[in-house]
Amino acid sequence: MMKIRLADGSGNLEFKYLVEDVDRHGNVRLYVKRRGHRKIRLRKSPGTQEFLDEYRDAMAGKSTAKSIGPAENTARSSLRWLVEQYYEGADFKVLDDRTRHVRRQILDAICLEPLSPQNAATIGSLPFANMPTSNIRTLRDRKASTPEAANARPKALRQVFVFAVNSDLVERNPARDVPYIRTGSQGFHTWTIEEVQVAIGGEGV
């Protein structure tokens, strides 16, 4: 239980399942957190009518946060949707043109890739919440014969899930614990067109 003073000065109310934490910048954030349910952040000023409405929606399992991007035809629970939100975020937009182009090609190719030769459903249709690390490792290993292309996959997905964590869409980054395949080289080199094509599943696979 957390006690919140009402903005109109009429008293205090106790809110069940309301918790707070402090982000890395020292900002206090409020959440509705119930066992077995997705944690939902409350963004309205505590004690206001808007806050009360938002709390009721959260208790009903609905998030009132606006979508960061359009993606109206993509299931909001899917990896494809999350990637589209990442494209609209500042972390992606501040990258240089070439890096944005290559990363978009890699992520789009991952989302369009079939789950298996026997299953035409795409990787992008998988739910991103609670995605296991093993899924990211499998995507890396599908390109193991070309280590630079293989490593590009968890590298790109790490950034997508950094965005998801910072946007309160997930609580953990499943790509963070997937190690890169050792290439035997020192540092990083500029990718060739052929390496980009391998990474996105084009010619040279």
What CATH number is associated with residue 191?
1.10.150
Please give the average per-residue pLDDT across 169-177, as a whole number. 93
Q: Is the domain of 7 the same as that of 83?
A: no
Cα distance between residue 135 and residue 166, in whole Å: 21
pLDDT band at 162 (very low <50, low <70, confident <90, very high): very high
- The per-residue pLDDT for 70 is 41
> Does some domain include residue 134?
yes
Q: Which of 57-71, 139-153, 178-192 has the lowest mean pLDDT?
A: 57-71
Q: Is the domain of 87 the same as that of 121?
A: yes
pLDDT band at 54 (very low <50, low <70, confident <90, very high): confident
- Answer whether residue 79 shows pLDDT above 70: yes
> Does some domain include residue 133?
yes
Please give the average per-residue pLDDT across 143-169, as a whole number. 94
pLDDT band at 159 (very low <50, low <70, confident <90, very high): very high
Cα distance between residue 135 and residue 27, in whole Å: 33
Tell me what percent of the residues of the chain surpass a pLDDT of 70: 80
> Does some domain include residue 71?
no
The rounded mean pLDDT for the chain is 82
What tokens does 65 get?
A: 């946060």
Q: Is the domain of 117 the same as that of 186?
A: yes
Cα distance between residue 113 and residue 119, in whole Å: 10
- Residue 20 domain boundaries: 2-59
Torsion of CA 182, 189, 104, 202, to 10 degrees: -70
What tokens does 93 get?
A: 């937009």
163-196 burial code (b ≥16 CB/10 A, e <16): bbeebbbbeebbbeebeebeeeeeeeeebeeebb
> Does some domain include residue 72?
no
Q: Is the domain of 31 the same as that of 91?
A: no
Per the structure, the count of domains in the chain is 2
pTM of model > 0.95: no
- The per-residue pLDDT for 198 is 54
Q: Is the domain of 25 the same as that of 107?
A: no
Which of 205 and 23 is assigned the larger pLDDT?
23
> Does some domain include residue 7?
yes
Q: Is the domain of 55 the same as that of 83?
A: no
Q: Is the domain of 44 the same as that of 91?
A: no
- The per-residue pLDDT for 12 is 87
What are the C-alpha distances in Å from 205 to residues 110, 119, 146, 150, 202? 14, 20, 9, 12, 6
- The per-residue pLDDT for 63 is 58
Q: Is the domain of 151 the same as that of 103?
A: yes
Q: Is the domain of 31 the same as that of 109?
A: no
- The per-residue pLDDT for 24 is 60
Please give the average per-residue pLDDT across 83-90, as a whole number. 92
